[in-house]
Homo-oligomer: A and B are copies of this chain.
């Protein structure tokens, strides 16, 4: 039968904090013919090897699993598999996603206790220590590494070992930070570390993954009540390789593509260095132009949140960038909607050409809205990038 080539969609330059641009070699492998992943023994090996490679990247000897679904499915799987009714869970909250974890654990009958941090900087380990001295009876704590709406980066290296010293497991949402920031899962005592395909790895959305420490497995296996979920039940995965049995048909081409994306990252000397350099130069450009950053400190290298100048609406700036420059930057939501816009320089977005094009377009857009800027953001950015020492 005649097969018509599908129409190529008209796609803006993605400069959002995920999904990110996908490199050609990752996209191409998704077009290949596939085997049946449930029945082809080779695929079990491939799946396991990819998980082990990801574990090595995350600096952990813990088991890593790749799930079929968006990042949220791994957050849900962690909460469903750990929580039993009545458990007290500590919610570290200095951002919209941090706060959101309270609703996720409540679903499974937990009593969330919120530790609130300043939303314009990282969680203070000192304040957390004081808090824990009074109350530390928690089964686990949830922490967002980079809370995307503001881009605040929490210091896992301080926070997770502190929690561990009180016997509290940690569930870390590292979806938005991974690749752009180093993650030393085992050294930092992270029990469950969660990521997704469409952020720093620059693969298409559709995969979530998580590492599960021996301590976390002990708790999951030692539950008194069964895990109240089917799709999000991590126990079903425990022996997939020994039993040659997946709980459901894995999305084979997505996993092949992810492996290619992971290899792209691994071929670089240190992808987080590239992110750090870009992020610093972006912040310099923003400040020198007279715009201001939303955060006071603790910037994640994957996203920059910029305060919208008085009298303007952030969502309109986003729409204008798209309409006039075909560049999609991040708007915002919750209490930041309209007030803070975001440049997502994570994964493949974090390239000099893309970022400079975006800053140039942002400058033109703001100026057309009557904002007078004190410096040319693109030039400042390029000057900073040209500097050898960082």
Contact = CB atoms under 8 A, between A and B. Distances in A.
B198 A40 contact: no
Contact of A249 (B6, B40, B71): B71
Nearest to A351: B1
Interface string A127-170: 00000000000000000000000000000000000000000000
Contacts of A266: none
Nearest to A79: B230
A247 B19 contact: no
Contact of A33 (B21, B104, B108, B248): B21
A32 interface: yes
Nearest to A329: B39
A362 B131 CA distance: 69
A24 B11 contact: no
Contacts of A21: 33
A9 B25 contact: no
A80 B229 contact: yes
Contacts of A18: 36, 249
A52 interface: no
A204 B251 contact: yes
Given A68-B206, A205-B250, A28 B31 contact: yes
B25 A6 contact: yes
Given A30-B253, A206-B206, A24 B37 contact: no
Q: Which of A38, A206, A226, A247 has the most CB of B within 10 A?
A: A206
Given A228-B108, A231-B231, A9 B35 contact: yes
A350 interface: no
Contacts of A14: 34-36
Contact of A12 (B28, B35, B69, B256): B35
Interface in A43-97: 68-73, 75-77, 79-80
A273 interface: no
Contact of A68 (B6, B205, B328): B205
A252 B28 contact: no
Interface in A208-266: 226-233, 247-254, 256, 260
A122 B43 CA distance: 34
A315 B70 CA distance: 34
Given A30-B27, A231-B232, A252 B107 contact: no
A37 B251 contact: no
A260 B69 contact: no
B108 A205 contact: no
A265 to B, nearest CB: 12
A253 B29 CA distance: 13
Interface in A292-337: 318, 322, 328, 330-331
Given A11-B33, A39-B331, A68-B68, 18 more contacts: A3-B25, A5-B28, A6-B256, A9-B32, A9-B256, A27-B30, A27-B32, A34-B204, A39-B328, A68-B69, A69-B69, A70-B251, A72-B230, A72-B231, A73-B248, A198-B249, A231-B231, A232-B232
Interface of A: 3-6, 8-9, 11-12, 14, 16, 18-19, 21-25, 27-40, 68-73, 75-77, 79-80, 103-104, 107-108, 198, 204-206, 226-233, 247-254, 256, 260, 318, 322, 328, 330-331
